[in-house]
Amino acid sequence: MKKIFFTAMLSMLLAVPAAAQKKLGNETDKQKSERLAWWTHDRFGMFIHWGLYALPARHEWIRHNERISNEAYEKYFEQFNPDLYNPTEWAKKAKAAGMKYAVLTTKHHEGFCLFDSKYTDYKATRTAAGRDLVKEFVDAFRAEGLKVGFYYSLIDWHHPDFTIDIQHPLRPKDTAQYAALNKDRDFKVYQKYLQNQVQELLTNYGKIDVLWLDFSYPQTHGKSHEDWKSEELLAMVRKLQPGIIVNDRLNLEEYEDGQDFTTPEQYKVEKWPEKYGKKFAWETCQTFSGSWGYYRDEHTWKDTKQLLVLLIETVSKGGNLLLNVGPTARGDFDYRADNSLEHISEWMGHNSRSIYGCTQAPDEFQTPASSLLTYNPDTKRLYVHLVDYPMGQLVLPGYKDKVKYAQFLHDGSEIRFDDGEANGVNLRLPVNKPNYEIPVIEIILK
């Protein structure tokens, strides 16, 4: 009797779900995945870092790196004249490369606004450009059928009330000096400014699909969710644009819905990132070379294969890739960025079926040697990406009796197969590598 009682108690205890995660709203997991459906399907976007830092052309953190004052930085505002700016061209290049959305820096840490904000004169409208560059971006990208995202820097090194902190260009060597340096800065004024500008961005440009806020550093003499009033800010964002997808840099990790996705930056994740005890939506942001803003003399450009691996590997772990271009001061793309985009276009033109709508393959499918695997759960097709092209044959270990048909994706040509070792299937491949950087085999399952 006692034993039955204890067993019953125990099973009741086990059935109780783990303490519910703290939330700001009441959206269910299902509702969230429906809201994010286009984004998880599309997988590939373009990040665009463009601002006054394109003129010095030596990193968008130049003000921090070289401790440049507002006065000394003013010359770039005076010279800003992007006569070659043609966002339709940008959009066409993004589209050709297979990117389905784009996120533009409406304001970066330097504080300069590409949009016509009524709360500042530190904006494109007051330069030789003389117009709202964000509006043109939005119109051009929408016209090409791409979704539109705004990056907005929470940090602002130009605003007179943004307090000097550990990242600021005017940061002191001796921490005892912060108080004196900040005595005339009223951060409340900045808080309001920040809120007003986010409101403008989400009110004046129609539907905005993604909001990318950047970033928090809650250490001593840093900035946290309390400084940004993140809870309030996010509530406003969700109210103004109910469908919008928001990144994770507001320092609201305490809440499961304090962000829609996580943003591993400039590194590769080992596996699909987990948060709150489950696989979490993620997007890795990456540069072509070592800087986000246009950097003339930086030469560590990734090659085509590295870029394609970045994209494919990301999808193979259930994530998105946001790949950055830093346009020049005159407003167009550097030839190196153009080259990389063209190479990606060539590949995507015939292989994008292994990217869109795809994700990590179910556990029962092992990744064959030297390859990357993606899977489309709707069509139930597997994609084997041949990162190192094998010679003559490829073993799919454990795939026996699972494969109905196999073909190259780029030309739809049949790949014959027979039983192999280890319950596997032997794909009989041509010895010559097809003319694609990373050929893809499409496997139609039984």
> From the CB of 111, what's the least distance to ligand GLC, in Å?
13
Classify residue 416 by burial, with Cβ atoms within 10 Å: 0-12, 13-18, 19+: exposed
> DSSP labels for 283-351?
EEEEESSS-SS-BTT---PPPHHHHHHHHHHHHHTT-EEEEEE---TTSS--HHHHHHHHHHHHHHHHH
The amino acid at residue 159 is: H
Which one of residues 74, 161, 253, 265 is an interface residue with ligand GLC (CB under 6 A)? 265
| 150 scored as a contact of ligand GLC (CB under 6 A) | no
Choose between 90 and 157: whose C-beta lies nearer to ligand GLC.
Answer: 157
Task: For residue 285, state whether it binds ligand GLC (rule: CB under 6 A).
Answer: yes
Q: 223 burial class (0-12, 13-18, 19+ CB within 10 angstroms)?
A: buried
**Contact in structure between 64 and 109 (CB atoms under 8 Å):** yes
CB of 285 within 8 A of CB of 44? no
Taking residue 255's Cβ as centre, other Cβ atoms within 10 Å add up to 18
By rule CB under 6 A, what string of x and - marks binding of each residue 93-112 to ligand GLC? --------------------
Residue 61 Cβ, how far from ligand GLC at the closest point, in Å?
6
Cα–Cα dist 230/84, whole Å = 37
Cβ proximity to ligand GLC: between 59 and 385 the closer is: 59
Beta bridge partners of 373: 384
CA distance 247 to 261: 5
Specify the residue, 250 or 415, whose C-beta has the smaller distance to ligand GLC. 250
Spatial distance between the Cα atoms of 258 and 206, rounded to a whole number of angstroms: 23
Contact positions with ligand GLC (CB under 6 A) in 31-90:
49, 60-61
Nearest to 310 by CA among 356, 344, 275: 344
Q: Which residues in the 195-214 window bind ligand GLC by CB under 6 A?
A: 214
| Residue 90 or 215 with smaller CB distance to ligand GLC | 215
Number of residues in contact with ligand GLC under rule CB under 6 A = 8
Cβ 292 to ligand GLC shortest distance, Å: 5
For ligand GLC, the closer of residues 49 and 410 by Cβ is: 49
As measured in angstroms, the least distance from the Cβ of 107 to ligand GLC is 11
Closer of 65 and 203 to ligand GLC (Cβ): 65
- Binding of ligand GLC by 228 (CB under 6 A): no
Annotate 335-381 with three-state secondary structure: HHHHHHHHHHHHHHHHHHHHCCCCECCCCCCCCCCCEEEEEECCCCE
CB of 146 to ligand GLC, least distance (A): 19
Is residue 113 within 8 Å of residue 124, measured between CB atoms? Answer: yes
Min dist. Cβ of residue 214 to ligand GLC (A): 5
CB 322, min distance to ligand GLC, A: 8
CA 282/CA 340 separation, integer angstroms: 24
Q: Give the residue with the Cβ less far from ligand GLC, 27 or 265.
A: 265
Reference 228, options 194, 255, 203, 262; nearest CA is 194
Nearer to ligand GLC, 237 or 322 (CB): 322
Tell the smallest beta-carbon distance from residue 440 to ligand GLC (Å).
29
Complex with ligand GLC: residue 60 or 260, whichever CB lies closer = 60
Least distance between ligand GLC and beta carbon 15 (Å):
42
Binds ligand GLC by CB under 6 A, chosen from 215, 282, 294, 375: 215
Distance of CA 259 to the CA centre of its chain: 13
Nearest distance in Å: CB 321, ligand GLC: 12
Q: Which of 73, 90, 112, 292 binds ligand GLC (CB under 6 A)?
A: 292
| First-last CA distance in the chain | 51
Beta bridge partners of 274: 279
Q: Which is nearer to ligand GLC, 68 or 409 (CB)?
A: 68
DSSP state of 134: H
Q: How far is the CB of 367 from ligand GLC (least distance, A)?
A: 29
281 versus 427: smaller Cβ distance to ligand GLC: 281
Sites of contact with ligand GLC (CB under 6 A): 49, 60-61, 214-215, 265, 285, 292
